[in-house]
Structure 1
Amino acid sequence: MPKIGMQSIRKQQLIQATLAVINEVGMQEASFVLIARKAGVSTGIISHYFRDKNGLLEATMRHIQYQLGFAVAMRLRMLTGAEPKRRIQAIVEGNFDPTQTSEAAMKTWLAFWASSMHQPNLNRLQQVNDRRLYSNLSYEFGRVLNKADARMAAKGLAALIDGLWLRSALSNEQFPVKDALKITNEYIDMQLQRAEVLGT
């Protein structure tokens, strides 16, 4: 009889192996054989827990997205009652957390984005992630700007976050967190200054 908690430990082990293999050979070459070898288990174990490669990618992305949500939530929790600017900055910082900008995570995100255009279950996962970011940003901008301007500011910042992340991922260089935060902070200041000018 399996030990209590062994299933979750084994799944976590396989997810970490998947991240490592995608980092080494890419999604297309990340076979069950390579992942099983990296995790030190049989390929049958992977099939038992995840059914197929898409199931394993979905579980891996759920893990990364959980880390993203946690990174943002922890930062916001420490800023309860803080001004909108600081909370918006915290959301951005969470998106640039080391769990999201490591080489393995970035390559897995790229593989996920490509697959999500063809796999409905992965596309739904991507839409949930996009809506969460947009909703968080819209709410915080909405504390200062009118509804229409808040939505536009949120769309712009979300696009900036994704764009900075994507350019770095495709450059094969370490993510420039300091530069990315400088660029996004300037955008945030510009949007909030509009509220001061318009008196909203």
Structure 2
Amino acid sequence: MPKVGMPSIRKPQLVNATMTVIERVGLHAASIALISREAGVSTGIINHYFGGKHGLLEETMRAILREHSETVMQLLSAIPKHQHQKRIHAIVEANFSDFQASNKVAKTWLAFWSYSMHDSQLHRLQRVNEKRLLSHLTIELKALLPHQQVKQVAQGIAALIDGLWLRGAMNQEGINAQQARALIGDYLELQLAQHALTTR
């Protein structure tokens, strides 16, 4: 976490510089020197406020997660609460927004996932994000499916989001957000259709 007192204008500047450098050279080569040069600040500022590269990566991921959460809530706020299927589509859409699907954010996500497997603090951030996604999906699916199916379908949608996102992030052409949303939409439609058949 950045120390209190850091000028608020510096945080997004450093976060953006971190993502830009990770996109360009990868996480391991993304040194404090390169990041500070990209941001136009001294290395001392990064070390003082973030304690080094690890702290800066953590703050960068927090910024990405905040933006993601805000996008989810913004999209959901525009859809009536009884339109559960549309709200699920909005949750999916937020995961493939222009920002989240951009190359520099995608590569930062990949670096974060890799780091989080061996770092308790970053792992906690990843778990919070995962639980938030499943919670949003579960709330909407409860109105559409019987209790015993809700968790399975929520996990299925989450797995498709992660899988399609990961495959796209590792593809030179990048993430195909439109295709990802269509595939996940097809899965949801299939699950709802199967439930409708069993209740006839």
TM-score, L = length of structure 1: 0.94
TM superposition shift of 1:172? 2.0
Q: Which residue does the alignment assign to 2:28? A: 28
SS in 2 for 1:98: coil
Q: Which residue does the alignment assign to 2:68? A: 68
Which piece of structure 1 moves more, 12-21 or 101-110? 12-21
Q: Which residue does the alignment assign to 1:12? A: 12
SS in 1 for 2:41: coil
When the two chains are superposed, the root-mean-square deviation of aligned CA atoms in Å is 1.4
Conserved 8 A contact 1:65-1:129: yes
Conserved 8 A contact 2:6-2:49: no
SS in 2 for 1:192: helix
Q: Which residue does the alignment assign to 1:167? A: 167
**How far apart, in 1, do the equivalents of 2:96 and 2:142 lie?**
23
**How far apart, in 1, do the equivalents of 2:131 and 2:148 lie?**
17
TM-score, L = length of structure 2: 0.94
TM superposition shift of 1:199? 2.6
**How far apart, in 2, do the equivalents of 1:6 and 1:56 lie?**
13
Conserved 8 A contact 1:11-1:49: no
Q: Which residue does the alignment assign to 2:109? A: 109
**How far apart, in 2, do the equivalents of 1:109 and 1:182 lie?**
22
**How far apart, in 1, do the equivalents of 2:82 and 2:60 lie?**
33
Structure 1 residue 178 corresponds to structure 2 residue 186: no
Q: Which residue does the alignment assign to 1:96? A: 96
TM superposition shift of 1:82? 4.0
**How far apart, in 1, do the equivalents of 2:75 and 2:194 lie?**
26
**How far apart, in 2, do the equivalents of 1:19 and 1:170 lie?**
16
Deviation by residue 1:65-84 (Cα, 9 ceiling, x = unmatched): 11111111111000023421
Deviation by residue 1:48-98 (Cα, 9 ceiling, x = unmatched): 111021111010000001111111111100002342111100100000011
Q: Which residue does the alignment assign to 1:140? A: 140
Q: Which residue does the alignment assign to 2:57? A: 57
5+ residue gaps in structure 2?
none
Conserved 8 A contact 1:68-1:100: yes
**How far apart, in 2, do the equivalents of 1:14 and 1:6 lie?**
11
**Which residue identity does 1:38 align to in structure 2?**
E
Structure 1 residue 45 corresponds to structure 2 residue 34: no
Deviation by residue 1:135-174 (Cα, 9 ceiling, x = unmatched): 1111111111122201100000000000000001111213
Identity score, percent: 46
Q: Which residue does the alignment assign to 2:129? A: 129
**How far apart, in 1, do the equivalents of 2:63 and 2:131 lie?**
18
TM superposition shift of 1:193? 1.5
**Which residue identity does 2:79 align to in structure 1?**
L
Q: How many residues align?
A: 196
**Which residue identity does 1:137 align to in structure 2?**
L
Q: As a proportion of its length, which structure holds more helix?
A: 1
**Which residue identity does 1:155 align to in structure 2?**
Q
